[in-house]
Structure 1
């Protein structure tokens, strides 16, 4: 079996980059679970962005892909689920996320009701050839040859080197449930775990770690969820909070987060002291500590220093993400601009 590496990652950008400066290939950004398919001719494994293998959650891919792949290989791509009538299908995140379930019977049922597809966009090994040191240009050419006759549920992602077409994809493909465009330097080797790709999304989002919650002012339910990011030094730092939950959701969160609550030797929940500002005054800023294991995606507007400028919005849970992958380097970096030029 091939050794499955950490996948190559992307850093956010505000606009589609100009390929005339650095030769690039553009791809649609699929909204699914990142997966690395390792097929050695006898068994098939599905790796993920983190330490959690995805093999058991997608038995239909394990069963069907060996009959489609022409030979042993290591593929990088995205696992997606599409729902809706013919001619109006779109990616369905909720249906996909339901696949991360502890009951094998539930997974098997969903694999029939909402079968997954694998969208391949890179080839890391073919037969005995390790291709990671080759340029993406060479890897893509070999991937196209290998998957020339691929059939559902295995698909080869489309690409373009035309910036105008990539911009059109960014605008049009959202209607099919995709969430942006990825730009990949053509001359770069594969870089496991490095953010050398560029992603352009419809909104600024970040994957963050749930590290605690404050009880709602009513005395019942979650009032706000505190979230954090890992710095270059490996330290998890609080970067903001998520609030504005419905009454029902506040109560549901207490139940959902209960297994993560840190407890002392007597079984009591461990609390922490939140950060104070000049606006907090005597306000209670204590919070219930959570083990940093649950990842969520949030929408944000901008950073101020090392924190989100405003309260962020909950987008969705990310059961496919490891907490350790939630770092600052995933965030969009805004180019500096002189205020004097704005004033004049």
Structure 2
């Protein structure tokens, strides 16, 4: 029996703190800022995104590495791009849209890498084996095949104290966005949130300049900050709000008119996208601390404004 794409990857649920020590040993891994992928190696290589899309045409160097592995395997990994000593998610997003000659050129100029952390198949399907055995198999695969770039083995430890150090801001500067926490004896359960994910908690002050959805029942928030010239600059868009959060914020926000500094402006829906966000402006923008559930993309241009978000 062989696995064939698409295969649902095993997922993680977010936690606010490290779990208390229990009877079952846990393993800790760095969470890199990249794309989750399943790599099908062998004569018919396939690079599957988390949602099942084929990323192979955008990352031809990874497809070639998968074909050259010399064994049929299915490897769970984070696809990343390094730039100037850190993981560059913006460059990764840009590369994902390229095809053909442009993709080949990007592969030479900004090569992608695979930070591998699990193996679902290697000679046989391994999903019913405990994680520590699958990890051992993955390590043996690296040793027996002499794997080097673009392959990399994810840093892992059973020491919670060591894992906690990976939440230090110094690691954030390198593109490590948090910590993965896994039961050493767990099986691989496609589509289930059987792992834990602890993101680094950081806060920042910002103004709510606009919302998606109705102002009295916002779906997400558009945050801004004043630059040295006093202009309100878009810096982030939140993840979708829960119903309680939407109700709480909707009670204090009010629609804005032509006096709003963003009046008449539109914002890009994402990196490289020509579509715009349908947003509603808020009057007397409210200042708040951006909590951990806010998604803050970095370096994303606004399609029709004269600034770049940070």
Superposition TM-score, scaled by structure 2 size: 0.68
Map of 1:226 onto structure 2:
212
1:94 to 90, 106, 121: 90
Match in the other structure for 1:10: 12
2:283 maps to: none
Partner of 1:118: 114
Which among 277, 297, 315 is matched to residue 297 of structure 2? 315
In structure 1, distance between residues paired with 2:66 and 2:18: 33
Task: Find out whether 1:242 has 2:212 as its counterpart.
Answer: no
> For the residues of structure 1 that align with 2:218 and 2:100, how far apart are their CA atoms?
36
Instruction: Tell me, in whole angstroms, the C-alpha distance in 1 between the residues paired with 2:188 and 2:211.
Output: 36
The 8 Å contact of residues 27 and 182 in structure 1, kept in 2 or not, is answered as: yes
User: Which secondary structure does the structure 2 equivalent of 1:179 belong to?
Assistant: strand
Displacement after TM superposition at 1:249 (Å): 7.5
Partner in structure 2 of residue 234 of structure 1: none
Give the structure 2 partner of residue 72 of structure 1: 72
Q: CA deviation at 1:8?
A: 1.0
Alignment partner of 2:291 out of 295, 301, 311? 301
1:141-180 counterparts in 2 under 5 A? 141-148=136-143, 149-171=146-168, 172-180=170-178
> Could you tell me which residue of structure 2 aligns to residue 191 of structure 1?
189
Alignment of 1:41-80 (within 5 A): 41-67=42-68, 69-80=69-80
Distance 1:16 1:282, change over 3 A: closer
Aligned-partner Cα distance in 2 for 1:125–1:27: 21
1:300 positional shift = 4.8
The CA RMSD over aligned residues, in Å, is 3.7
Instruction: Classify 1:225/1:50 alpha carbon distance in 2 versus 1 (closer, same or farther; 3 Å).
Output: farther
Aligned length: 249
Q: What are the Cα deviations for residues 202-242 of structure 1, in whole angstroms up to 9, with x where unaligned? A: 1379xxxxxxxxxxxxxxxxx634279xxxxxxxx964322
CA distance in 2 between partners of 1:117 and 1:282 (Å): 46
- SS state at 2:132 partner: helix
Gaps of at least 5 residues in structure 1 are 206-222, 229-236, 254-273, 303-307, 319-344
Q: Deviations over 1:109-163 (max 9, x none)?
A: 2111000011110000112x11112211221111111112211111111211001
Distance in 1 between residues matched to 2:253 and 2:19, nearest whole Å: 42
2:16 is paired with a residue whose SS is: coil
Alignment correspondent of 1:321: none
Give 5+ residue unaligned stretches, structure 2. Answer: 204-208, 238-245, 258-265, 278-288, 301-310
C-alpha contact 2:12 2:195 (8 A) present in aligned 1: yes
Contact map agreement 1:19 1:161 (CA 8 A) in 2: no
Is the 1:38–1:74 contact (alpha carbons within 8 Å) kept by the matching residues of 2? yes
Offset, 1:190: 0.7
8 A Cα contact 2:211 2:219, kept in partner: no
Q: Evaluate the alpha carbon distance shift between residue 103 and residue 153 of structure 1 in structure 2; reply closer, same or farther with a 3 A threshold.
A: closer
After superposition, what is the alpha-carbon deviation per residue over 1:227-265, rounded to whole angstroms, capped at 9, x for unaligned?
Answer: 79xxxxxxxx96432242887987xx9xxxxxxxxxxxx
Partner SS state of residue 29, structure 1: strand
CA shift for structure 1 position 182: 0.7
CA distance in 2, matches of 1:106, 1:38: 24
- Residue 101 of structure 1: how far off its partner (Å): 1.4
CA distance in 1 between partners of 2:254 and 2:18 (Å): 44
